[in-house]
């Protein structure tokens, strides 16, 4: 991956992380930094799983968004601030 691809993956990751948090069900009590890191990771992983020849693919974006939603849900379960048990 070239430097332009890395920079674009980071920028897309910021947006994908925010959208992943928006589309994740329920309330997520994770920090903004964790959301951004999940989005960047989802952007890199999605670009690796579904590479595109011309640099842009709707399928790649959909895969990145799904990965971000799953990542936000997992991060909220593992790192959530409000882990009170309700009886």
Cα–Cα distance between 46 and 65 in angstroms, integer?
A: 8
pTM reported for the whole predicted model? 0.81
Closest residue by Cα to residue 9 from 79, 70, 49? 49
Per-state percent for the chain, helix, strand, coil, to nearest 5: 70, 0, 30
Q: Is the pLDDT of residue 54 over 80?
A: no
Identify which has the larger pLDDT, 70 or 27: 70
Handedness of CA 32, 19, 60, 6 (dihedral sign): negative
Cα–Cα distance between 54 and 61 in angstroms, integer?
A: 13
Q: What is the pLDDT at residue 83? A: 56
């Amino acid at each position: 991956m070239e430097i332009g691809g890395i920079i674009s993956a980071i920028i897309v990751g910021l947006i994908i992380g925010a959208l992943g948090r928006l589309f994740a069900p329920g309330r997520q009590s994770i920090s903004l930094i964790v959301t951004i890191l999940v989005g960047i990771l989802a952007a890199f992983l999605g670009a690796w799983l579904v590479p595109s020849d011309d640099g842009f693919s709707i399928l790649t974006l959909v895969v990145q968004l799904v990965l971000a939603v799953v990542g936000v849900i997992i991060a909220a379960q593992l790192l959530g601030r409000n882990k009170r048990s309700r009886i």
